[in-house]
Structure formats: structure tokens, C-alpha cells
Amino acid sequence: MDLIHRPRRLRRSETLRKMVRETRVSKSSLIYPMFVVEGQNVQEEIPSMAGQYRWSIDRLPEQAEALLKLGVDKVMLFGIPGHKDACGSEAYAEHGVVQEAMRALKARFPELYLIGDVCMCEYTSHGHCGILDGDYVDNDRTLEYLAKIAVSQVQAGADMVAPSDMMDGRVAAIRDALDDAGYVNTPILSYAVKYASSFYGPFRDAADSAPAFGDRKQYQMDYHNSREAVKEALTDVDEGADLLMVKPAMAYGDIIARVKEVTDVPVAAYSVSGEYCMVKTCGRLGYVDETAMLCEIAASAFRAGADIYLSYFAPELARAMDEGRIG
């Protein structure tokens, strides 16, 4: 057969396939989420997220050291406080669990890049992401608290803050507060496009952050919408966001692509707890090759346009890169 175009020519060997690969994945793009609890000598496995743990501050260094050896040098910290109240006061306390964790990690591992999740749901007694007015989360009252959280984290050693609350105007409020406190060079990674998703279930178990009533659909986005994602992304860029997040990742490749197309800032995708749980469960039951699947899911996010990837599989992805299974 007289064929001029034979696409298979470029698939004949592993070396050739890697040379012409369109999507590149590197360890420098990975962020690993970690959960911190109060107490001593705590390494508590999360029931719904096999292989993930809640760590006390004294046990964090061993995990940080293991990550650094794999080449994963960025972590996002989530705190589970011993005390919760209506205004989530432990979220911005000088000696809160995340703040103390940041001080401990930064003192021992200055090369570890620390990102603080700025939200209130883990810290409030009602489990919502802001200050309540009856059953309604009061947007504008919440902004003051989010700004306090961000400043307290940066004072404790955070290199970047990542507001995940989905309040309108939070990026501008945090930017103003950081600048006023002298932290003009601290970047904001905004969870600009965060959907109200069933994929978050295991995280709420991990962070003890399930809402005591109702749900979060009054402030997180409706998963039917994509044009709204563009509006949210552009609004946050206008308010001063340095990077944008799309959450979740796996079922939202179209959204990652749209946000990438309409903005000129780096785009992150969060491979959330539900994705992790599905892959782990299928792998444990022997239904899939777990490593092959997690690599394929990660590559899909980068193929859609993500520059940064938050994943509970970050250590496994780093190992897979070393083995040449993704990269």
C-alpha cells in the first residue's frame, strides 16, 4: 500500500515515543497535600484514604524527609484543630496547629515549599467555610477572617497561600492584607474554580470538615456550568491571584482547558480525595494496574493544560517518573 503518512512511525520505540511526547510531566509540578493534627507521636491512617495519614507536628519531619528524597519539595498543609468554634478561631491563631507545623517544617527543611490552605471548614464548629448568619454563610464578614488566616500562615512560614473557601472578593481581601503586613511578594494560589463535588467525600473524613447542616452549594460551583468557571477565573486574576486552581481535576479536563485558554497565569489542578480513593480501591481489588492508572489520570490533567498538580499520589508519581512510566 502506497501510504505517505504513517503516524505509527513515531510509535515504534520507547525512545522515539518519549522524544515526540506532547505532554511533559515533572516532579517540579507536584504538590502533596498533608493533614496535621494536635498531639504527640500521631500517625493515624485515614480510614477512607488508605495510605494517607494525619500527622502530629513531631512526626511531620519523617514524612517531609521522605518526600524530599523522592524529589517532591512542595506541600500544602491542612489543619485539624483540637478546638472548634463558630468563627474558626484556631485557623488564625498564632499557635494554631498549621502555624506551628509550618514553623517546625521551615526550621528543619528550609528547602521545603510550604503552601497554606486558607479556609475555615476544618476549624468551625458548624463545618462551613465562613461566618454564619443563620443558615447563610455571610460572604463579606468572612473576608476579614480569611485575610487574618492568610497573614497568620505567612507569618508562621508559609511561602504561598491558597484560599479555597469560594467567597466572592477573598483574593482582593487577602492581597490587601498581605501587602499591608509587608508580604508583597507572597503569591496567592486561588481555588478560583471549585465545584460542589461528590469527589470530596473522603477529604471531609480526613479533615473532619463535613458541614453540620446543608451543603456548600451556596458558595461552591454547580458542576453543570463551564462559562461560570471563566468568570470566576478572570475575576480572581483581576483581584490579584498569581495562580489559579481547578478542583476537582479528573472529571474537569474541559474546565482546565478553558481556564488555561482565557488566562495568562499558571493553572493548577487538584486531584482530589475521591479520585485517590477510586484508584486505590480498584488497585487493591486487583481490577487495574494502580500505577498505570494514576499516571494516566495525572497525564490527562497536564494534557488539558495544567501546569501544577496537587495529588495524594505525588510520591507514587515521583517514583513512576524515576521508573520512566510517566514524564
Q: How far is 272 from 274, CA to CA, in rounded Å?
A: 6
* 247 noted as active-site residue: yes
Closest CA to 256 of 18, 20, 23: 23
81's grid cell: 484543630
CA 75 to each of CA 28, 167, 198, 315, 320: distance values in angstroms, whole numbers, following the listed order: 12, 24, 24, 11, 19
Catalytic (active site) residue 27: no
Strands 160-163, 113-118: pairing is parallel
Half-sphere exposure of 149 (CA within 13 A, CB side): 35
Instruction: Give the C-alpha distances (Å, rounded to integers) separating 116 from 85, 151, 207, 300.
Output: 20, 10, 14, 26
Which one of 74, 84, 148, 194 is the catalytic residue? 194
CA–CA distance, 263 with 190 (Å, rounded to integer): 13
Query: 113-118 and 74-80: which strand pairing?
Result: parallel
- Calculate the alpha carbon distances from 147 to 69, 144, 152, 193 in Å: 34, 5, 9, 19
327, 26 in Cβ contact below 8 A? yes
d(CA 191, CA 22): 27
Q: Specify the 3-state DSSP secondary structure of 46.
A: coil
Question: What does DSSP assign to residue 222?
Answer: P
Active-site choice (74, 84, 148, 247): 247
**Number of residues in the chain:** 327
Q: Which residues pair with 243 in a beta bridge?
A: 189
Catalytic residue IDs:
194, 247
